[in-house]
Structure 1
């Protein structure tokens, strides 16, 4: 990871001063680096000896950072990782364009590795992530969104990059299809679990845990799984409340507190966490087919860490 971080900082450089300034504002703000760690771990599991896993891990983190810069513009977010969002400091245009630059750098690094299969996996994930963002726009402020609809969003928007980050490890280590699929399944299920825990934390966590204000999803009209559950299980009066707040953008004083009460009343938060645990269990089962070793323990720990954020 030290090599990955060094590469990330070097590739974030540019003769255009604003680019490294914005990129490093987000890159150095303490992200978990879970996605690049998956690439490193899965390459090491299979005894990969080159440096391509470091390069691919850095490209994965650049893809993730680019999506964060773009997301904050789309969502009009004020905070990211406990700091002011880049768009609040430099504006929307600069944030989008620097995100584009980081995506370009990510693809250059993928090409440098020389694996067409890895390039295909990560470039496909990039397209899927963009589709997920558009899907989320369609689901936003729509309280008729179903659980299946929402899971489609988070598979594309979040889980796809986890899956790709994991899969390219055995790819560059020249492993068979079964090993690639095991890595991909682990990453996909971990991605689901990670996002569902985030969804629960937005209503039941703290700003320190989130790196943003509690209730941002609510204020932005984001329909997440806790809200889906509460709407489906609530009374007509409850649904009228959600419709007013999520679709009508009429969020007033005390509404977040009422939303949290309704989520707890209908077990929406606890059931979201239960779903996350179930996905985490699927990720752990995917590890059973891999060669034993210390990295398997680390990957199991990653699942435990993900769930423990809300335990």
Structure 2
């Protein structure tokens, strides 16, 4: 669901940048005390989680692929403002270093997946969970529903964004950017997410919340046992689980085909018979160092084992990069004196 460069007009991209910047400002200001404290490692962990989860592509109806996002889980555990930062960092790293999503489209992707999705999901979770106890099953159900609705709202917004392009920008009867109108783009985005991708997001959100509740209940405000587990073994278990997830990322290679709306110019030529001129202008202007989570020197006919190794190495690099960005933000945003310290985030 990452919008590539060339699929939306510069005006659309600029509008999304204008929408995302105020949210980034408010989010970073609200998180200044959080990033200065012990929550920074948790924020880095969830940003890495979002990055890795989006590498697990699954086949969906229509012969394309989709993936879960994980931003709703981040919002439930850390709060919506922290989720905005965590997801945005992951999306920016994906675009810059792996070519997953466009550079000009960073504003659009961060607004849809990093702002709208976690805010909608968090709102649904709070509404359904109500005043139930942190350890109740109702909260697990609420998390699954929140993830499902959140990713489908995001898919709808992507469909609208792509679908309005040929209505607003065309020349001589041909679209300049994304060539499919609303009547195609909206169902093409919604059907896979209402079925497979939405279910995947619900499972990820429920399983993630159950795991956090078991290993770090204090993040959820849940009561801890009278004889709490030592922090070091729990932390080691968390990182062990994270390592296992990274090692499993090659499962995302099993699903073949491009995600809908993320075709190359050559693929689009085969689909619609032409390459929109605006798309041809902007596609590929940014050369990511590890495009499509592979290694530059890996031959095109590399076997699955070589591709899997490259995928795992890309995941490790990505986790390191998003963690480094979060801790860099921690240094940049920490209060410089007691008088500078902002109020704790809501």
TM over 0.5: no
Give the TM-score normalised by structure 2. Answer: 0.35
Give the TM-score normalised by structure 1. Answer: 0.38
